[in-house]
Amino acid sequence: MPYQNITVSTEDGIAVVTLNRPDVLNALNQATMDELVSALEEFEREGSVRCIVLTGAGRAFAAGADIKEMAGASAPEMLAGYRFQQWERIRKVTTPLIAAVNGFALGGGCELAMLCDMIVAAETAQFGQPEINLGIMPGAGGTQRLTRAIGKSRAMEMVLTGRPISARQAEACGLVSRVVPAETVLDEAKRLAKEIAAKGAVAVRLAKEAVLKAFDTHLEGGLDYERKCFYLLFATEDRSEGIAAFLEKRRPAFKGR
Ligand code: CAA
């Protein structure tokens, strides 16, 4: 499908989706979000992509919602718009999403990175929720996901001052899983994606669901959920193959069923 605001490529069971409006630091206008949702859902439907890397062209991952597009919007228009339904659709994507954050991840850009399942950051990346400087506040999950990721005090400081943090600070507080030299960030994310893509797809899907469950349930509910997923995997061919391969001292050949 031809896209105007993103580029998409696939290789070895993984996809790379690149936000491609570098002149405006990949500001997330509606058209970009539409294309992003459409590309992710198409991968889900098609079924051969096992892990997706999301990155940005140029100096930014994304510098937030498109401020020019938001400038004239009224509260009722924001409420009636489908803006946040798109974020919910991304949240429902079952394929693992890795954000390869190459530069600025600010406002909606930081929120989009946090909506992904893992973040690999370039040493030069910056993460922030600067909405307060515009007289507004995060609206796409920033107050919730950032707080869960880095704790109340640090999240409060970022959200109330709008000051960004560096990739190293983000690593120290657990927002990102690793920091790598800027020129290798996409390759590192792709390597990670290929490692995940080679695992049993049903196990990966249920494991992702179970980890995400930790965000919205209490411990007992989460443990129950985990156990149900665990039992279910004993009905898969991949479980028989994985255990047989271990016992036979060979690499497993998973089939995703
Ligand atoms: N929306 C629209 N355009 C943006 C943008 C955004 N979020 N961020 C940057 N741009 C545009 C700039 O207007 C500029 O365009 P022009 O050349 O046409 O003037 C171009 O991108 C390059 O930006 P700068 O010249 O500002 O680059 P810089 O290196 O001097 O500064 C920056 C970089 C610090 C990231 C700065 O661009 C900036 O502060 N951007 C805004 C960040 C922000 O406030 N994001 C939050 C948006 S609100 C939001 O996201 C709400 C939500 O939760 C959903």
Question: What domains are defined for the chain?
Answer: 6-197 (3.90.226.10), 201-247 (1.10.12)
104 C-alpha to ligand 1 centroid (Å): 9
**What average pLDDT does this structure show over 102-116?**
98
- Residue 78 tokens, joined: 């924001």
**What average pLDDT does this structure show over 56-81?**
91
Other CB atoms closer than 10 Å to residue 99's CB: what's the count? 30
Atom nearest to 107 CA in ligand 1? 50
107 C-alpha to ligand 1 centroid (Å): 10
Q: Is 25 in the pocket of ligand 1 (CB under 6 A)?
A: yes
65 annotated active-site: yes
Sorted by sequence, the CB contacts under 8 Å of residue 49 that are 6+ apart come out as 10, 13, 14, 15, 43, 95, 197
Report the pLDDT value the prediction gives residue 1, as an integer from 0 to 100.
66
Which pLDDT tens digit goes with each residue over 169-226? 999 999 999 999 999 999 999 999 999 999 999 999 999 999 999 998 999 999 999 9
**What average pLDDT does this structure show over 242-257?**
96
Burial 182-215 (b: 16+ CB within 10 A, else e): eeebbebbbebbbebbbbbbbbbbbbbebeebee
Report the pLDDT value the prediction gives residue 76, as an integer from 0 to 100.
86
**Which residue's C-alpha comes closest to atom 10 of ligand 1?**
24
pLDDT at position 126 over 90: yes
- Percent above pLDDT 90 for the chain: 93
Distance (Å, whole) CA 6 – CA 3: 6
> To which residue do tokens 């792709």 refer?
190
Probe target for ligand 1 pocket from 24, 85, 88, with the most ligand atoms within 8 Å of CB = 24
Strands 118-122 and 97-101: parallel
**Which residue's C-alpha comes closest to atom 32 of ligand 1?**
63
108 annotated active-site: yes
41 annotated active-site: no
Residue 245 sits at φ, ψ, to 5 deg, of -60, -40
**Which residue's C-alpha comes closest to atom 38 of ligand 1?**
63
Q: Exactly one of 27, 62, 65, 193 is catalytic; name it.
A: 65
Q: Return the SS3 of 181.
A: coil
Q: Is 49 in the pocket of ligand 1 (CB under 6 A)?
A: no
Distance (Å, whole) CA 72 – CA 185: 36
Better-predicted residue by pLDDT, 85 or 7: 7
Instruction: Cite the DSSP H helix spans in the chain.
Output: 30-46, 67-70, 75-80, 83-91, 108-115, 147-150, 152-161, 167-172, 185-197, 201-216, 219-233, 237-247
7 C-alpha to ligand 1 centroid (Å): 21
Q: Exactly one of 35, 131, 171, 188 is catalytic; name it.
A: 131
65: left (phi over 0), alpha (psi -120 to 50) or beta: beta
